[in-house]
Amino acid sequence: MLAPITPEPAPPARSARMAEIVDVGLTLLESEGPDALTMRRIADAMGIRAASLYKHLPNKGALETALVEIALREVGAALHGALAALGPDAAGWAAVTALLGAYRTATAAHPNLYRLATSGPIDRAALTPTLEDWAGEPFLLATGDPYRGQALWSAAHGLVILALDGRFPAGTDLDRTWRALAESFGATAR
């Protein structure tokens, strides 16, 4: 069964101003990179003083947590959607291939957001409970084993980061590399 085990947790309630701050932060992160994600730069983009931001969030870490949650929700929705599109009896190579295709597409859509969400330590206590589990659960569903699921996610994450960093040799056929990963895990998946 490829149906989710963990239901998607509801997003946190945010004031309109907090939602605007997060949206501006996301726009700056994606358009200018992580160095633009400062309280001063966000305030400038909003036409307000940086001190005004602290009425809506305690610190930059709270903004980063909100952005990590966006990344987890977007990637999680793409992964769950890819498996759901296959139907309840999907397994093996088809499930792994669909999962990896969705992961590759979702992470490429917002590379700076993906990096923020997956590099360095994560403050799990600040995240919406069960969100991280829900977002990663499709790897378990596709492989049928939590450790194989973690291994598949680790390999997919490595491919994404190496591609973002331009670390593959010139002429590398990344589609073929992703296919090889799917074949490696798909052959033995549930």
91 vs 73, more confident? 73
Termini Cα distance of the chain:
10
pLDDT 10s digits, 147-189: 999 999 999 999 999 999 999 999 999 999 999 999 999 877 6
Mean pLDDT of the chain: 93
CB atoms under 10 Å from CB of 49, counted, come to 12
Dihedral angle sign, alpha carbons of residues 155, 157, 161, 163? positive
pLDDT, average across residues 118-146: 93
Predicted local confidence at residue 2, as pLDDT: 61
Per-domain residue ranges of the chain: 16-186
pLDDT for res 89:
76
| The pLDDT of residue 1 | 42
> How many residues in the chain?
190
Q: Which of 78, 80, 54, 32 is nearest to 21 (CA)?
A: 54
The superfamily in CATH containing domain 16-186 is Tetracycline Repressor, domain 2 (1.10.357.10)
